Structure 1
Amino acid sequence: MYRMIAALILCFSTLTLAADDGSQLQKGNLFPRVKLDTNMGSIVVELDRASAPITTNNFLLYVDKRSYEGTIFHRVIQDFVVQGGGYDKDFNTKPVMKTIFNESGNGNKNELYTIAMARENDPHSAGRQFFFNMNDNPSLDPGRKWGYAVFGRVVEGTEVLDKIAAVETQVHPTWGWPDVPVEPVILEKATLLPQTF
């Protein structure tokens, strides 16, 4: 009897963990949209669950848990990328729920106004940080090596991204990081928009 109860609890826990990956958010919607409200304006991205399901679901999970709210765009390089999602305004590291498989071979290219996952040298180290391509960046696409997984594109607010990409940057006086905005660019809220049919 006790073994049966323990087995049922384990099974339920496993199912709960498996479902807590963002896949249940607007299940069946291959192109969910997320609105990103920043202190410089709003951006709407259309995600590509058809080509990048793991990456899209992962991003949606952070959105659903309100984990991107109050984060900064800490790396801004005009005509290259605008990167954020990993730090709060005091440069405290935000927790990573898990690292995900690199879907850079999905056919999507790192083109102007697309959104992609940031990662470390390990190709499968992407967690929560993402970036917007502010140019066509073929060097970030896969070839002989793993690339950076594109999982959507901006459908509203390209002018806001252009403003962010043009802000004055510096080497951060405490951390020594280059390309940090002098005035913080803050992601104030991230919202999964209602599905339209």
Structure 2
Amino acid sequence: MSKWLFAICFSLVSQLAVAAVDIQKDNLYPVVEMDTSMGKIVMELDRTRAPITVDNFLTYVVKGEYDNTIFHRVIADFVVQGGGLDPNYKERPEGKPIFNESGNGLSNETGTIAMARENDPHSAIRQFYFNVADNKKLDPSSRRWGYAVFGEVTEGMDVLQKMSQVPTGENSELHWQDVPLTPIILKKATLLPRK
């Protein structure tokens, strides 16, 4: 009897765990809402062009890994970057790097979201950025890898433009440039129910 009860409980817990990380694998264009300290941003992701990147990003979203993080790099007429640090500038846990899908036909145009990375083209993990200008120089060419775009903003472009204009400076502790003087918080990222 206790074996059956254990099996039922284990099955229920397993189902809840799977449901907790449901990234809508069969939804080609999932929608994510970001509630920030400056307003809401809604974006539609493109799994047809960037399946690895979308799955990676949504796993962080669904697990709540982007909640209470900051946009730590803001450059007017360029990008608004975040997703990797808490408000105390401590790195959040990271998974493994993903394959660079920058050759997918999507361009770093105003209002798109893409993966940040190091010099290694396949080093993107969890940090992302929004393009607040047309940044075609971030697209791939025959000589270099680009930065993988995986979606576009459908609501809240005005919020992103406001973010891109905040005063920034050097963070003396980390020796980083372009850090907002007043932190911009990503309070919560949510995968919205499919329509």
Give the TM-score taking structure 2 as reference length: 0.88
Aligned to 2:33: 35
1:55 aligns with 2:45: no
* Cα deviation, residue 27, structure 1: 2.3
1:152 aligns with 2:151: yes
Distance 2:156 2:94 in 1: 27
Aligned residue for 1:171, secondary structure, equals strand
Contact 2:62–2:191 (8 Å) recurs in 1:
yes
* Cα deviation, residue 98, structure 1: 1.2
* Cα deviation, residue 24, structure 1: 5.0
Aligned residue for 2:84, secondary structure, equals strand
Contact 1:23–1:57 (8 Å) recurs in 2:
no
1:80 aligns with 2:109: no
Aligned to 1:69: 67
Letter in 1 for 2:110: L
Aligned residue for 1:54, secondary structure, equals helix
Distance 2:117 2:44 in 1: 21
Aligned residue for 1:82, secondary structure, equals strand
Letter in 2 for 1:108: L
* Cα deviation, residue 69, structure 1: 0.5
Letter in 1 for 2:114: A
Q: Structure 1 residues 91, 168: closer, same or farther in 2, change over 3 A?
A: same
Letter in 2 for 1:39: S
Aligned to 2:5: none
* Cα deviation, residue 23, structure 1: 9.2
1:119 aligns with 2:117: yes
Distance 1:188 1:78 in 2: 22
Aligned to 1:182: 181
Letter in 2 for 1:55: T
1:5-30 C-alpha deviation (Å, 9 max, x unpaired): xxxxxxxxxxx9xxx8x995212110
Aligned to 1:105: 103
Letter in 1 for 2:157: T
Distance 2:30 2:193 in 1: 8
Q: Structure 1 residues 137, 44: closer, same or farther in 2, change over 3 A?
A: same
Aligned residue for 1:92, secondary structure, equals coil
1:140-169 C-alpha deviation (Å, 9 max, x unpaired): 000010000000000000000011000000
Letter in 2 for 1:123: P
Give the TM-score taking structure 1 as reference length: 0.87
* Number of equivalences: 177
Distance 1:106 1:52 in 2: 7
1:55-80 C-alpha deviation (Å, 9 max, x unpaired): 00000000010000011000000000
1:63-103 C-alpha deviation (Å, 9 max, x unpaired): 01000001100000000000000100100011111110000
Aligned to 2:134: 136
* Cα deviation, residue 183, structure 1: 0.1
Q: Structure 1 residues 23, 123: closer, same or farther in 2, change over 3 A?
A: farther
Letter in 1 for 2:101: E
